[in-house]
Amino acid sequence: MALFTGAYNHIADGVSLTLNRLVAFLERQGAEVLVFGPTVADPPVRHAGTLVPVPSIPAPGRPDYRISLGLPGAARARLASFRPDLVHIATPDLLGLRARRWALEAGVPLVASYHTHFTSYLKYYRLEALEGLLWAYLRWFYRPCAHVYVPSPSMADVLAARGIEGNVRLWARGVDTDRFNPAHRSLPWRRSLGFRDDDVVVAYIGRLVWEKGLDLVAELFTRLEADGVAHRSLIVGDGPIRPELTARLPHTVFTGHLAGEDLARAYASADVFVFPSETETFGNVTLEAMASGLPAVCADATGSRSLVEHGTTGYLAPPGDVAAFLGYVTRLVQDAALRKTMGAAARHRAQSYAWDVVLGTLLGYYEELLGRTSPTAATTPAVPAPHRMPR
């Protein structure tokens, strides 16, 4: 397989980590994978498989992201000599566009995965006027793909409403339930941050960018404090808006970026998880929080809507509704029994998202497309889905 992506090793975000896990899984199954994508001199991710670098430039205002500039001649020659059985495009950018053309001209089966809900980002850059044009481009881009893989039923519903359906398949995301586990809760770690053992810690964990709904997080933490709700607030992660957030939230504890065991310990050592993002296609951090035994209060939007069972594993609040978030978080902060019950239910639900099952489902789709397995086995969803997938 040839995989084309805008994020692979130059940034440790959900897309790159998922794709690296996919490539490692495929290679363990005996598949050969060649990855085409941008990179940097000292990448933060030790990537899986063979990466063919392509030219790129920093994204305007967001230098941690890269914009691929296409598929140069040397990379095209490498692709042609590799002779892939399948082309998988993870990003519909200029690199993805060149890969699409190559696959169609070469007669190689073409699939795509939808990782980033691009149109939901437009309002953060005052580009809402471009939404219609962007959807038109995406409809055109995905039309010749044999499969388009989406991470959640709610995301499939959004695409169907915009005319992208028929070739859509569910490919969820997984979680390592050994790593993200309530057993990693650490009172010494909490104390090192200045928390008392009986403090109720409300946490946001993720990248610090406005697109994740962090203006609401700042307002929520401020209002919890103003209302006298006994809690402590915690933000785990880093990003370009950290200085502004720390100025707005002088009583919030900021840890910066954490990974591996440190990240797992941070999840398990919190008590309530908050994630108001409306831009997710799945919500990896929400699943990690659930696996860690935390009740989650999330935006009722794509991604989280398919993970959080409202009233059972947490709450879904209308996107952007600070008062609703405040009410749900206050309820959880003040009711220890409710936190315990919802946290246990969240952990139980997260255990349905085992990585080998999730990645095996995608491999089944590939094999079905290449005529190497039965379609019945390949099209079985990896996880329970509350919404019916469009056909």
Whether residues 335 and 361 fall in one domain: no
Angle subtended at Cα 272 by Cα 334 and Cα 320, rounded to the nearest 5 degrees: 95
Query: What's the full length of the chain, in residues?
Result: 391
Alpha carbon separation from 225 to 219, 231, 327, 330 (Å, rounded) = 10, 8, 13, 11
Give a yes or no: residue 93 inside a domain. Answer: yes
Q: Is the pLDDT of residue 19 over 80?
A: yes
φ, ψ of residue 234 to 5 degrees: the values are -135, 135
Inter-helix orientation angle 336-350/322-334, to 10°: 110
Q: Is the pLDDT of residue 385 over 50?
A: no
Tokens of 233: 């607030």
Give a yes or no: residue 372 inside a domain. Answer: yes
Instruction: Check if the beta carbon of residue 290 is closer than 8 Å to that of residue 383.
Output: no
Whether residues 126 and 63 fall in one domain: yes
Q: For 41-91, what is each residue's pLDDT tens digit?
A: 989 888 999 999 999 999 887 787 899 999 999 999 999 999 999 999 999
**Other CB atoms within 10 A of residue 280 CB:** 30
Q: Determine the average pLDDT of the residues in 296-302.
A: 92
Q: Is 68 helix (H, G, I), strand (E, B) or coil?
A: strand
Per-residue pLDDT at 388: 34
Whether residues 144 and 290 fall in one domain: no
How high does pLDDT run on average in the chain? Answer: 90
Alpha-carbon span 286 to 19, nearest angstrom = 18
Beta-bridged to residue 234, according to DSSP, are 203, 253
φ, ψ of residue 4 to 5 degrees: the values are -115, 125
Highest-confidence segment of 39-53, 181-195, 367-381: 181-195
Range of the domain at 208: 182-350
Per-residue pLDDT at 378: 40
Q: Is 134 helix (H, G, I), strand (E, B) or coil?
A: helix
Give a yes or no: residue 390 inside a domain. Answer: no
Per-residue pLDDT at 140: 97
Q: Is the pLDDT of residue 382 over 60?
A: no
Q: What is the percent of the chain where pLDDT is above 70?
A: 92
Per-residue pLDDT at 64: 79
Whether residues 344 and 359 fall in one domain: no
Whether residues 188 and 156 fall in one domain: no
**Other CB atoms within 10 A of residue 201 CB:** 21
Q: What is the CATH number of the domain that holds 71?
A: 3.40.50.2000
Q: How confident is the model at residue 212 (pLDDT cuts 50, 70, 90)?
A: very high
Give a yes or no: residue 389 inside a domain. Answer: no
Per-residue pLDDT at 59: 85
Alpha-carbon span 61 to 254, nearest angstrom = 23
Give a yes or no: residue 383 inside a domain. Answer: no
Whether residues 346 and 358 fall in one domain: no
Q: For 116-156, what is each residue's pLDDT tens digit?
A: 766 565 565 566 777 889 899 999 999 999 999 998 888 88
Whether residues 312 and 368 fall in one domain: no
Number of domains making up the chain: 2
Whether residues 72 and 214 fall in one domain: no
- Answering whether pTM is above 0.75, one says no
Per-residue pLDDT at 155: 85
Q: Is the pLDDT of residue 27 over 90?
A: yes
Whether residues 23 and 76 fall in one domain: yes
Whether residues 226 and 334 fall in one domain: yes
b/e map of 27-63 (b: 16 or more CB within 10 Å)?
Answer: eeeeeebbbbbbbeeebebebbbebbbbebeeeeeee
Q: Is the pLDDT of residue 329 over 70?
A: yes
Residue whose entry in the numeric block shows the structure tokens 């989280």: 304
Q: Determine the average pLDDT of the residues in 310-323.
A: 97
Alpha carbon separation from 206 to 10, 145, 170, 266 (Å, rounded) = 17, 32, 24, 12
Whether residues 189 and 255 fall in one domain: yes
Per-residue pLDDT at 342: 98
Whether residues 206 and 334 fall in one domain: yes
φ, ψ of residue 95 to 5 degrees: the values are -65, -45
